[in-house]
Amino acid sequence: MLIFVLIFATAGITTFALAFGDEKAVKVGVNQRTEFNKLYDTYDQLNKNYYKDIDKEKLINGAINGMLDSLDDPYSDYMTKAEASKFHESISSSFQGIGAEIQEKDGTIVVVSPIKGSPAEKVGIKPNDKILAVDGKNIRGMSANEAVLLIRGKKGTKVTLTIQRAGSHDTTQMTITRDEIPLNTVYADMLKDGIAKIQITSFSENTYNELLTALNDMDSKGMKSLIIDLRQNPGGLLDQAIKISNLFIPEGKKILQVEDKNGKREVVTAEDGKKIKVPVAVIIDKGSASASEILAAAVSESAGIPLVGEKSFGKGTVQTASDFKDGSNMKFTTAKWLTPNANWIHQKGIEPNYKVNMPKYAELPLINPDSKYKVSSLSNEVKAAEEMLKVLKYNPGKVDGYFDEDTKRAVINFQKDAKLKANGILQGNTTIQLMNKIREKIIKNDTQVNKAIELLKK
């Protein structure tokens, strides 16, 4: 009997303990053993001789946290009662925050992906962005759970993140207004020529049912072929990934394998039931992780469905989650999962059959709307704005990071078209609208979707 949970490629996000069979996930129990004598002695000496009163609960929490930290595994973690409450929050229909999945990596908090339609996505936060500070507080060395407690908050309140884009030494501050983050996970659109595109943004309790509803809707609109978009999908619940994989994989074919520390493998195979009959292509990127990688690998290796896009994140381990009686929680890695062909993609990712990069302007850095740029300003954010203006056909002159008269004219022309105050200053709504226009252009010129369409038309 194997009891396990597959979590997001983040710490501190929704997770469930799952069991194959009739057994239930167990609670954590502690048996006294001689190897703990050193720990007990340390506790007793501190409690008796430390120069001031100690917080006993904090001391115990620190000891447990230290054990898990010593594993050097970003997916094994201890959560206090407050952290565990946040941990379980996302199993509800919504939560309040900025909407970004994060993980701790080498002492730094890194974005796995923003949630579709969230405040984080709207301001331009991207996978692999590093969060260095929250409201000016340095968070290096924090666990993802600790960072989540700082970043989340009530709808309408603001939080300022110091962001460093992957591959850049520059940082920028982004002030984000928290909002209600609905956990709708499936979004469907009918494209031209009967090609449906369904985006799965994560795997939560209702994702399979949401997908069935979307498929029925697309069928009613004349679906002839299908694109499954797993980009920036950080993962989620294992049972949902298995159910969805089953829609595409012939009965008896492998979906995944789970291997414990002794090398014993459990194979999960596709069952009979509803199957998708139309041609399918799947899109992945560097934000596709965990359960989304299970789906991508399964349909690729067991159903021959082509993968389009970029190499995926690479999260190939399995976790168990257990609760303590006081409401705190511990999760730790118990096994690794393998693809149908027994490939372990951990820290490697899945290579698509058709590698397609997004346009270069899709990787442009963030511009802080709170910053004010005008003639004579010089910065990398000005350079990013100039590149955006150039892509949108507002000739900013030389793209060099220096805000000159050509840049001012380009900003004024953009402001006029956007029906904003035409003062030639880059700030506030002008910055937000500029980034929104780039986002719209990225969606309109989605090279990865276009490649998937090309394959489905053959």
The CA-to-CA distance between both ends of the chain, in Å, stands at: 45
Q: In the annotation, is 315 catalytic?
A: yes
As a residue count, the chain comes to 458
Catalytic one among 301, 310, 386, 387? 301
Do the Cβ atoms of 1 and 23 come closer than 8 Å?
A: yes
Q: Please, what sign has the CA dihedral across residues 297, 299, 302, 305?
A: negative
Is 363 noted as a catalytic residue in this protein? Answer: no
Task: At 126, list the tokens.
Answer: 């991207």
Of 126, 315, 437, 451, the catalytic one is 315
Distance CA 228, CA 452 (A): 9
DSSP label at 205?
Answer: T
**Catalytic one among 113, 204, 245, 290?**
290
Q: Please tell me whether residue 255 adopts helix, strand or coil conformation.
A: strand
CA angle in degrees (0–180, nearest 5) for 139-110-9: 125
Residue 301 designated active-site: yes
**C-alpha span between 49 and 51 (Å, rounded):** 6
* Sign of torsion over alpha carbons 172, 173, 177, 179: positive
Question: What CA dihedral angle connects 245, 249, 250 and 254, to 10 degrees?
Answer: -80
The catalytic residue positions are 290, 301, 315
